[in-house]
Amino acid sequence: MPQRTIAVDLDDTLNNFTETLHTGDFGFDAAYGLPEQAFAGYMERLRNGSMDVDDLLSTEYSFFRYKIHLRCYGLARARADGVDFMRWLEAAGWRIVICTHRDLRRANACTRRWLTDNGIPFDHLFMAWNKIVFCRAWGIRHLVDDDAFNIAHGEPYGVNVYYPIMERRRPLEANRARGFSSFEEVKQWIAG
């Protein structure tokens, strides 16, 4: 029997990234190289989910956003049921691919450290903006992810998507993705 492979997201799937971003104590620090007023404005924009609308690839705001996200990556708490799920996958012989939007060119070491510190097993770590295309290209039929695009578009491309149910998510169009409250549900769905 060939080894089964699953792709699993990190932020807001295996951890509480958004909660950490919104409730974390990121007080003003001159090390950011910003005046206090700019720091406060950028922090507000970041917590409201504002993206940079500048044509430049890198701006003062995008660099600030990266620095705060980097702090959140280390501070975010792992979901206990997610850790148990990942260990179950390993014990059951699954190949585990961590598939994230994080810029792993800059956040690879801290991401690997967080996974290790939380006892989360994995075989591969990849950055992918379009996880459906990534899964399709690598023949991965199962994806655990919170991104609305992946939830909506997995099924037509043969990718079974499982997503954590969250209050902050707007209602999604009818699709075949499965929302879960506990990773125990995902175990049952993929065990067969």
Domain ranges of the chain: 5-15+77-190, 18-75
Q: What is 5-15+77-190's CATH topology?
A: Rossmann fold (3.40.50)
| Residue 168 clears pLDDT 90, i.e. is over it | no
Angle, helices 183-190/80-91, rounded to nearest 10 degrees: 20
| Residue 45 clears pLDDT 60, i.e. is over it | yes
| Residue 1, pLDDT score | 41
Which of the four pLDDT bands, split at 50, 70 and 90, describes residue 174? low
* pTM score: 0.89
Most confident of 100-104, 110-114, 147-151, 154-158: 110-114
Average pLDDT over residues 123-128: 96
